[in-house]
Structure 1
Amino acid sequence: MRTQVAIIGAGPSGLLLGALLHKHGVDAVVVEQRSPDYVLGRIRAGVLEQVMVDLMDEAGVGARLHREGLVDEGFVLAFGGQSHRIELKRLTGKTVVVYGQTEVTRDLMDARAAAGLPTVYEAEDVAIHDFEGTAPFVTFRKDGVAQRLDCDFIAGCDGFHGVCRASVPADRIQTFEKVYPFGWLGILADVKPISHEIVYANHERGFALASLRSPTRSRYYVQCPLDDKPEDWSDARFWDEFARRLPADLAGKLVTGASFEKSIAPLRSFVAEPMRFGRLFLAGDAAHIVPPTGAKGLNLAAGDVGLLSRALAEHYRERSSAGLDDYSRRALARVWKAERFSWWFTTMMHLFPENGAFGARMQIAELDYLMSSEAMQTAVAENYVGLPL
């Protein structure tokens, strides 16, 4: 097989890159080690920045998003037993859209299939070769048969544990990491959300988050120890703990019910530099991870592939390497700003027992100052709705 761009990974970043390249007239083959059902079964965040929405529109796959997505003009910070609102639209003129990552992936997957664009699922033993030279290629096995995909460029959209970053020699890459000493226990339940806007709660027992997928489906989280297991948490235990971490006005609106998904996610910050190695370009979780506080992961990945798709289109249209040469610098500039915001938001909202009573008081002082300063609220809102490409 031969293509212009080999995309490794059929998650939302790989599929979005493929859709954008198709609009620019650039050929791409997507190679994914998992099945379509497995890819769609991964439960992830669902708060989309304007940049992400714009890229979905550019790719021609934004119709259902606009029809079914829930537009939020603000979000709620809860602390000290009270609820406070950050007015995103008033402060920035922008909004965010609540639309599950599974639905984003489904829209991109369906559009790719409808256009007859090549995607190889359940590819085994995927490996990338000669990306530092002029003729890179990808090898894999499909249905027991060895395959080779020759290409001009490789886009590594295969996640934190994927083959692309792992194929870079250790002396060519530098990584930065912070692992947080707790996780998020999350549930999905078909119950009415306590708020149509996302709620972030700081409490002496730990952080809580109230999100939603639709007017009848809620996605709720509580901070928990890393060694907890989902089976340790019955639905009754979760609902009791979640309610205790909310102000009375929100706890009084809580509707409980049976959960149909329950999992614990660790929190980490991670960045790999650079994001280009010859003809290999990393994007999304292959290059960086943010804690879910602030919902930056999917949006950062979209920013990467937005920059990369334009650079690749420029290369083929104008025979210019300027965009490709500047991709890593531009992408990392956005990445580190988002890492900073996610780290700050995580530090402000979560329980860190090692920081003691002084640390807890500092969190409340920070939150009090935030709600008394429109300048600081504006800075938070600018980061929350997303920085421009």
Structure 2
Amino acid sequence: MRTKVAIIGAGPAGLLLGQLLHAYGIDNVIVERQTPDYVLGRIRAGLLEEGTVALLDAAGAGARARHEGLVHHGVELAFGGARHRIDMHAATGKTVMIYGQTEVTRDLMKARADAGLATVYQAADVTPHDFGSVAPRVSYVKDDITHEIACDFIAGCDGFHGVSRSRVPASAIQTFERVYPFGWLGILSETPPVSHELIYTNHERGFALCTMRSMHRSRHYLQCPLDDHVDQWPDDKFWDELKRRLDRKAVDHLVTGPSIEKSIAPLRSFVAEPMRFGRMFLAGDAAHIVPPTGAKGLNLAASDVHYLSQALREFYTEKSAAGIDAYSAMALARVWKAVRFSWWMTSMLHKFPDTGEFGARIQLAELDYLVSSKAAATSLSENYVGLPF
């Protein structure tokens, strides 16, 4: 098989890249080791920046998000038993949209299928080869037969645990990581949201977040120890602990119910540099991870794909390598700003085991300044709605 761009990974990053390249007339094939149902079963982020929604539109996959997504103009910060609203739209003129990553993936899968584009699912032993040369290729095994895709470029969109980054020689890559000393226990329930906007809560018992997937499906999170297991958190215990951390008004509006999904996710910040290795590029979680506090994971993947798709378009239409040469630096400049913002939000809102009462007082001072200073609120808003790309 021969194509221009071989994409490893059929998550949102790979699918979005494939659709944009198709729109630009650039042939591509996607190879994915899991089944479509497995990919859709990953419960992930649900907040989209305006830039991400615009990219979905450009990819021909934004109509349902525009129709069903919930547009938010602000967020609420809760501390000291009270809630304070940050009006992001007033500060920036921009909004964010609540629309689940599962739905984004579903829309992109449908767009790709409707276009008749090639996606190989359940591909075993996917391996990029010779990306340091002008003739890279990707091999995989399907139905006990080894296949090979000859291509001009490889896009590694296969996530943090994917094969693409692992095939880069250790001498050619540098990684930066911080693992946080807690996780997020999250549940999904068929219940109405507590509030029409997200509530981020700093509490002496730990962080809590009230968000939603729709007006009848809620997503709630609690900070928990890393060694906790979901079996230790029956639904009643979760709801009781959430009530302890929320303000009185939120508790009064909280509707509880059976969880339809429950999981614990560790938090980490991770960046790999560079994001280009010869004719292979990393994008999305293959290159970076951020804690979900800043809602940047999926949006960073989208900005990577924007830079990469434009670079490849320039290569094929203008015969210029300037875009692909600049890809890593451009993507990383935005990545590190998002990593900083996600770290800052995490540091301000969570209970850390080693900072004690001093750290708690610093957090409260930071939050109080944030809600009382127009400049501080604008800074948060600019980052939260998404920096330009």
TM-score normalised by length of structure 1: 1.00
Residue of structure 1 equivalent to 2:203:
203
Q: Which residue of 2 aligns with 1:185?
A: 185
Q: Which amino acid aligns with 1:276?
A: R
Residue identity opposite 2:326 in structure 1? D
Q: Distance in 1 between matches of 2:266 and 2:196?
A: 26
Q: 1:266 is aligned with what amino acid?
A: P
Q: Secondary structure at the match of 2:293?
A: coil
Confirm or deny that 1:86 pairs with 2:102. Answer: no
Q: Secondary structure of the residue that 1:219 maps to in structure 2?
A: strand
Amino acid at match of 1:66: R
Moved over 2 A (4+): none
Shift of 1:251: 1.0
Q: What is residue 335 of structure 1 aligned with on the other side?
A: 335
Matches within 5 A, 1:7-156: 7-156=7-156
Aligned-partner Cα distance in 2 for 1:26–1:202? 47
Q: Tell me what 2:312 maps to.
A: 312
- The equivalent residue for 1:226 is 226
Match of 1:164?
164
Tell me, in whole angstroms, the C-alpha distance in 2 between the residues paired with 1:238 and 1:21. Answer: 44
The residue matched to 1:303 in structure 2 has which SS?
helix
Structure 2 CA distance for aligned equivalents of residues 16 and 279 of structure 1: 19
Deviations 1:316-362 (A, max 9, x none): 00000010000000000000000000000000000012100000000
Give me the whole-angstrom Cα distance separating, in 2, the residues matched to 1:100 and 1:316: 33
Q: Which amino acid aligns with 1:223?
A: Q
1:245-264 alignment, distance < 5 Å: 245-264=245-264
Aligned partner of residue 325 in structure 1, secondary structure: helix
Q: Which runs of 5+ in 2 are unaligned?
A: none
The letter of the residue matching 1:224 is C
Q: Secondary structure at the match of 1:7?
A: strand
DSSP 3-state at the match of 2:196: coil
Residue 311 of structure 2 aligns to a residue in which SS? helix
2-side partners of 1:182 and 1:353: how far apart?
9
Opposite residue 224 of structure 2, the aligned amino acid is C
Q: Which residue of 2 aligns with 1:269?
A: 269
Specify the SS of the correspondent of 1:293.
Answer: helix
| Consecutive unaligned residues in structure 1, runs of 5 or more | none
> 3-state SS of the aligned residue for 2:253?
coil
Paired with 2:190 and 2:231, the residues of 1 have a C-alpha distance of 20
Which letter maps to 1:229? H
Structure 1 Cα separation of the partners of residues 26 and 332 of structure 2: 24
SS in 2 for 1:252: helix
Alpha-carbon distance between aligned partners in 2 of 1:294 and 1:8, rounded to the nearest angstrom? 27
Structure 2 equivalent of residue 278 of structure 1: 278
Q: How far apart, CA to CA, are the structure 1 residues paired with 2:23 and 2:83? A: 44
Separation in structure 1 between the aligned mates of residue 34 and residue 344 of structure 2, nearest angstrom: 34
In structure 2, the partner of 1:325 is 325
Q: After superposition, give the CA deviation of every residue in 1:120-152 in whole Å (9 maximum; x if it has no partner).
A: 000001111000001000000011111000000
Query: Structure 2 CA distance, aligned partners of 1:294 and 1:84?
Result: 17
RMSD of the TM alignment (CA)? 0.4
Output the CA distance in 2 between the equivalents of 1:275 and 1:2: 24
In 2: Cα distance, 1:353 partner to 1:160 partner: 27
Residue deviations 1:34-84 (CA, integer Å, cap 9, x gap)? 000000000001100011011001111110000000000001100000000
- 1:370 counterpart residue number: 370
Letter aligned with residue 170 of structure 1: A
- For 2:132 and 2:195, the matched residues in 1 are separated by 51
Alignment of 1:213 with 2:232, yes or no, is no
How far apart in 2 are the matches of 1:145 and 1:129? 18
